[in-house]
């Protein structure tokens, strides 16, 4: 399947996870990787499945590299109703009131423009004991399995 990995990062941790997912998926899929700050929201392609990795920064905000994307979406107001995405969040439960609000904001932004979410948004906790790639690889495989049927069904419907 054609997959685009998009990441929103502040410290580089989300970028590293996106690169890990790329390495994991490349053998079986055609994979593109882009920083959200370099991605034009008017170029979403219904034939691709979008996997977004997004961290949280400061007081529950989008990370720096996701902010230009959010502004571009607000300006262009693209119709994303035939776009499928899954989203993985990264946060730190030390800051529990705003834990993973960055990925939540990104999810809400995409859904507000009609995009269809596949799978659940799951979140990694930097203060927890597991590694982000251990969570994300199984999650991505499951999302892709669902996307393979959904992309066809939703297009036929």
Yes or no: say if 63 and 35 are a contact pair by the CB < 8 Å rule: no
Residues with Cβ within 8 Å of residue 124, at least 6 apart in sequence: 17, 88, 89, 90, 91, 130, 132, 135, 136
Contact status: 96 vs other proteins (CB under 8 A): yes
Pick the stretch among 40-48, 59-67, 113-121, 137-145 that binds other proteins (CB under 8 A).
59-67
Nearer to other proteins, 20 or 107 (CB): 20
In this complex, which beta carbon is closest to other proteins, that of residue 4 or of residue 100?
A: 100
Told to check if 64 binds other proteins by CB under 8 A, we report yes
Q: Where are the beta strands (DSSP E) in 36-83?
A: 49-54
CB atoms within 10 A of CB 3: 23
153 binds other proteins (CB under 8 A): no
SS3 call for 4 = strand
User: Is residue 23 involved in binding other proteins (CB under 8 A)?
Assistant: no
Cα–Cα distance between 120 and 156 in angstroms, integer? 23
Instruction: Output 1 or 137, the one with its CB closest to other proteins.
Output: 137
Q: Binding to other proteins by residue 68, rule CB under 8 A?
A: no
Q: Is there a contact between 82 and 50 (Cβ–Cβ < 8 Å)?
A: no
- How far is the C-alpha of 134 from the C-alpha of 8, rounded, in Å? 19
93 binds other proteins (CB under 8 A): yes
Of 10, 25, 41, 140, the one binding other proteins (CB under 8 A) is: 10
Near other proteins by CB under 8 A: residue from 32, 82, 92, 154: 92
Contact region with other proteins (CB under 8 A), list: 53-61, 79-87, 108-116, 148-156: 53-61
In the region spanning residues 99 to 128, those forming contacts with other proteins, defined by CB under 8 A, are 125-127
């Amino acid at each position: 399947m054609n997959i685009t990995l998009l990441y929103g990062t502040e410290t580089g941790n989300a970028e590293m996870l996106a690169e890990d997912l790329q390495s994991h998926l490349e053998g079986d899929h055609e994979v593109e990787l882009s920083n959200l700050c370099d991605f034009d929201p008017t170029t979403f392609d219904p034939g691709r499945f979008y996997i977004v990795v997004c961290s949280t920064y400061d007081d529950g905000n989008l990370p720096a590299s996701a902010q230009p994307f959010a502004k571009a979406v607000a300006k262009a107001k693209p119709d994303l109703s035939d776009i499928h995405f899954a989203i993985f969040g990264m946060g730190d439960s030390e800051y529990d009131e705003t834990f993973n609000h960055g990925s939540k904001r990104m999810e809400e932004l995409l859904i507000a423009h009609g995009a269809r979410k596949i799978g659940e948004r799951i979140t990694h906790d930097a203060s927890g004991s597991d590694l982000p790639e251990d969570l994300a690889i199984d999650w991505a495989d499951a999302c892709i399995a669902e996307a393979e049927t959904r992309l066809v069904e939703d297009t036929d419907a």
